[in-house]
Amino acid sequence: NAGVTQTPKFQVLKTGQSMTLQCAQDMNHEYMSWYRQDPGMGLRLIHYSVGAGITDQGEVPNGYNVSRSTTEDFPLRLLSAAPSQTSVYFCASSYSGRETQYFGPGTRLLVL
Amino acid sequence: GQQLNQSPQSMFIQEGEDVSMNCTSSSIFNTWLWYKQDPGEGPVLLIALYKAGELTSNGRLTAQFGITRKDSFLNISASIPSDVGIYFCAGRRYGGSQGNLIFGKGTKLSVKP
């Protein structure tokens, strides 16, 4: 198993550009989530999904969209990037919301 | 929003020393998790706790789910250089959104110069 994979590893965007951060898992996990990590802030939940076709907002959802068309994939979309979205983004998955989550390696995003 | 208070924020260790860190919350949690993050990597789960009073070990690491359900502790015995990194606690509240984990801000472990 590859576990949780994320692409790209690094990305530089200009303000106003859009992009999609990819996340995939091959463990047949129902639950997937996106976090952002900022210095001194720990990890904050952006959006999560309890299964294909179902998504919900986390603590900091503004400026981000998600969809879950398959069990394996959970992309995170930035429609119009802002400098405040400069961060490290982590995707995580688990069998259910009550099981321990496994994290991907992260995507480092810089918005100029 | 809900926050976990994790302390200390940082600490320096000397090889062989024991290390302790903790997390506290104003809410009752039904799950406590401890993660370690190495530079440039995602967090890796160390220990999961599911019952108040539970004491669980993973090698030199021992974690406890506080009896009040509002705190958790992580101890590392006989530290070694590879213990360096950032340790995060995470908790899940009773009645919270399914799977919604709340993370502490981390304890950064460094080696004494």
The chain A residue lying nearest B2, using CA atoms, is A59
The chain B residue lying nearest A55, using CA atoms, is B98
DSSP bridge partners of B88: B35
* pLDDT at position B97: 56
| A46 close to B (CB below 8 A) | no
Of all residues in chain A, the percent with pLDDT exceeding 90 is: 83
Which candidate, A104, A100, A43, places its Cα nearest to that of B104?
A43
- The DSSP call for residue A77 is E
**CA separation for the pair B27, B25 (Å, rounded):** 5
| Segment B62-85 mean pLDDT | 95
Distance from CA of B77 to the nearest CA of A (A): 24
Of all residues in chain A, the percent with pLDDT exceeding 70 is: 96
